[in-house]
Amino acid sequence: MSTPFPPRGAVPLLPTLRPGCFHLGIEPLPTDTPVYCEDTSDPVDIFGFRAYRVLHSEQTDFQNVLIADLVNLGRALFLDGVLQSSEYDEALYHESLVQPALLALDNPRDVLIIGGGEGATLRESLSHPCVKKVTMVDIDPKVVAACEKHLPTWHRNGFRDPRAKVVHTDGRAFVENDDSFYDLAIIDVVDMFDNGPAQRIYTKQFYQHLKKRLRPNGIVVVQGMEFSHVDFQQHSALVRTLRTVFPQVHSYQVAIPSFLSPWGYVIASDWFDPRDWTPSRWDARLAKRLGQDALQHLDGDFISRSFMLCKETRRLLAMPGLVLSDDEKYIHPTEVEDITESLPVYPARKEQKR
């Protein structure tokens, strides 16, 4: 009699904990038995990333923090069991989040970041010499401290730049009480609508407050979660919400390998339309501002292509639906657990007559 294989490979070295909890770090981890960091963000699927070292594991007042060295992705940050960024592709994610909006602005001086604890969004913002001040608002000082210690290639000493100001408070409260003005506001917070505190950063009321803090021709750019013709509901809700506040709202899409999905971004303003920007115009602005080869991933061709969505994705994005509001809960699409009736099997097969 053969021995059945255990689920998802070898038996874990460490006992199972409830989702979002992690064991204290062991450095280095023994390598004779695989150890996995599990991403539990999907309600159905679980993704395991094999690790060989845990550098930091902590439960803060706000979330569980894990920084580990992964076999295939290098060093990575997990918050509440969800992969936030990895060493091998964080530059692609953060360049895509920050650079198109900054390059579109003629002379950006003041940047506001909500979230961005790793410091990489800060790094990309500070790469522009014309930027005089970047205010980063992250609610969790322990996350920022852990990232400053263990993720040096993310922030590249950006926290120590005299142009940087880091504030540890709630992002919504900061915007509502702030009296400063910004050329660019970047929203880089957790990527799920779970009706928790962070969702207040995605509602129309928040963006109404935020628009009051923008200078004329100011831009807002938001990380837009998983986004494809397969997974579009949350991104579409975000786009509809921004369109209640800004006349120009555009989605773009980049494949981030560690996220296991195409990733969405949304750029919103009173004026910016990516159709006005050719690859050569992007390249000219990039060369003048930073130097033609300053970025690792983005150039004019890449930026222009990222705004080109497939026909089916455009159709789904244009559909009517929920607008995110302080007064209404976000209703998720039907999940497997909600379906009680038996599921049909496809393709249906007719019984063959004898």
Residue 46 belongs to domain spanning: 12-87
Pairing of strands 164-167, 133-137: parallel
For 134-170, the pLDDT digits (tens) are 999 999 999 999 999 999 999 999 999 999 999 999 9
Q: Do 79 and 198 fall into the same domain?
A: no
Find the range with the poorest average confidence among 92-101, 202-211, 343-352.
Answer: 343-352
| Upper half-sphere CA count for residue 172 (Cβ side, 13 Å) | 14
Rounded-to-10 torsion of CA 85, 88, 93, 98: 110
In this prediction, residue 41 has a pLDDT band, given cuts at 50, 70 and 90, of: confident
Is residue 188 flagged as an active site residue? yes
Q: What residues contact residue 160 under an 8 Å CB cut-off, 6+ apart?
A: none
Q: Do 174 and 138 fall into the same domain?
A: yes
Q: Do 19 and 101 fall into the same domain?
A: no
**One of 42, 188, 231, 338 is an active-site residue; which one?**
188
φ, ψ dihedrals at 133, nearest 5°: -155, 135
pLDDT greater than 70 at residue 51? yes
Do the domain assignments include residue 25? yes
Q: Annotated binding residues, as ranges?
A: 63, 94, 118, 138, 170-171, 197
CB contact at 8 A, 139 and 62: yes
- pLDDT number for residue 139: 95
Between CA 113 and CA 93 the distance in angstroms is 15
Q: Annotated binding residues for S-methyl-5'-thioadenosine, as ranges?
A: 63, 138, 170-171, 197
Position 218, amino acid? G
- pLDDT number for residue 17: 54
Q: Do 81 and 94 fall into the same domain?
A: no
Find the range with the poorest average confidence among 252-256, 262-266, 319-323.
Answer: 319-323
Name the pTM for this structure. Answer: 0.84
- pLDDT number for residue 2: 39
In the chain, the number of structural domains is 2
Q: What residues contact residue 242 under an 8 Å CB cut-off, 6+ apart?
A: 207, 220, 222, 249, 266, 268
Do the domain assignments include residue 326? no
Q: Do 249 and 111 fall into the same domain?
A: yes
- pLDDT number for residue 37: 83
Q: Do 53 and 114 fall into the same domain?
A: no
Assign residue 140 the CATH number of its domain.
3.40.50.150
For 225-249, the pLDDT digits (tens) are 999 999 999 999 999 999 999 999 9
Q: Do 95 and 78 fall into the same domain?
A: no
- pLDDT number for residue 304: 98
Q: Last residue of a domain, which of 87, 110, 125?
A: 87
Between CA 178 and CA 211 the distance in angstroms is 12
| Secondary structure of residue 67 in the 3-state scheme | strand
Assign residue 63 the CATH number of its domain.
2.30.140.10
For 266-293, the pLDDT digits (tens) are 999 999 999 999 999 999 999 999 998 9
Q: Annotated binding residues for spermidine, as ranges?
A: 94, 118
For 210-230, the pLDDT digits (tens) are 999 999 999 999 999 999 999
Q: Do 25 and 144 fall into the same domain?
A: no
